């Protein structure tokens, strides 16, 4: 049984997703909705350990693309069963900062792993638990690179293995997102993330509001 609403946020580094997840959650809560915010990889104690291994561990330099794919989806399998399904069954609105489109974009297009294999792994991780709506925030590759470089320089003790990839990798990731958006137009809404925070927030609300369950009205 599923009564809630599942919305995912996607985009390249520095597109402003995390800020927008928090702003949307605040607005929804102020209207009386029960809201759960999550991030991937992570979102559970096991998932946060996997996140550390994937991104910040000093032992992760030799990680292969296949190990990366499986760790992302191990974190996801745990998150789906431990948090997302129970929350949706309880009628909550779940907002996730990234979900399986990130795997298609980063491991599929970025690392150039076989897309059919990626799909099979994702199927194992999520089963029937699929987003109702996905907001893909776009920013130019230049803005994305600038924000990524800024983040790397302000967090010198928190190296991020994935953000260390080269420019070509991130160009392929963006191509991947564009391909996903083109193939799933009903679920994936593309929004320009380069305006002011308020402006992007307004555009997101215009897409989300019609999809909301009604609260407190009968």
Interface residue list for ligand TMP (CB under 6 A): 39-41, 72, 98, 102-103, 106-107, 162-163
- Whether 97 contacts 18, CB under 8 Å: yes
Rounded CA separation 44/8 (Å): 17
Output 45 or 210, the one with its CB closest to ligand TMP: 45
Q: How far is the CB of 173 from ligand TMP (least distance, A)?
A: 8
In the complex with ligand TMP, the residue whose CB is nearer, 4 or 41, is 41
- In the complex, minimum distance from the CB of residue 217 to ligand TMP, in angstroms, rounded to a whole number: 35
Q: What SS3 state is found at 70? A: helix
**What are 106's two structure tokens?**
């980063």
Task: For 111, list phi and psi in degrees, rounded to 5.
Answer: -85, -5
Q: Whole-number minimum distance, CB 187 to ligand TMP, in Å?
A: 17
| Closest distance to ligand TMP from the beta carbon of 4 (Å) | 20
Which residues is 137 bridged to in the sheet? 191
Which CB, 5 or 118, lies closer to ligand TMP? 118
Helices (H) and strands (E) counted in the chain, each on its own, are: 9, 5
Residue nearest to ligand TMP (CB): 106
Nearer to ligand TMP, 98 or 189 (CB): 98
Residue 110, burial from CB neighbour count under 10 angstroms (0-12, 13-18, 19+): buried
């Amino acid at each position: 049984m599923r009564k809630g609403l599942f919305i995912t946020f996607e985009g390249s580094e520095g597109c402003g997703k995390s800020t927008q997840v928090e702003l949307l959650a605040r607005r929804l809560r102020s209207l009386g909705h029960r809201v759960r915010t999550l991030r991937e990889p992570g979102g559970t104690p096991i998932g946060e350990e996997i996140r550390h291994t994937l991104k910040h561990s000093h032992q992760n330099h030799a990680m292969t693309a296949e190990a990366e794919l499986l760790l992302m989806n191990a974190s996801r399998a745990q998150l789906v069963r431990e948090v997302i399904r129970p929350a949706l069954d309880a009628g909550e609105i779940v907002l996730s900062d990234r979900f399986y489109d990130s795997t298609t974009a980063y491991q599929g297009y970025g690392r150039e792993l076989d897309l059919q294999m990626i799909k099979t792994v994702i199927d194992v991780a999520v089963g029937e638990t699929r987003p109702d709506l996905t907001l893909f925030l776009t920013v130019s590759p230049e803005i994305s690179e600038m924000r990524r470089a800024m983040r790397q320089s302000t967090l010198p003790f928190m190296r991020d293995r994935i953000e260390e990839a080269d420019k070509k990798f991130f160009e392929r990731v963006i191509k991947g997102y564009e391909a996903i958006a083109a193939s799933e137009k009903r679920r994936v809404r593309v929004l320009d993330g380069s305006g002011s925070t308020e402006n992007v927030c307004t555009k997101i609300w215009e897409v989300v509001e019609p999809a909301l369950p009604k609260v407190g009205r009968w």
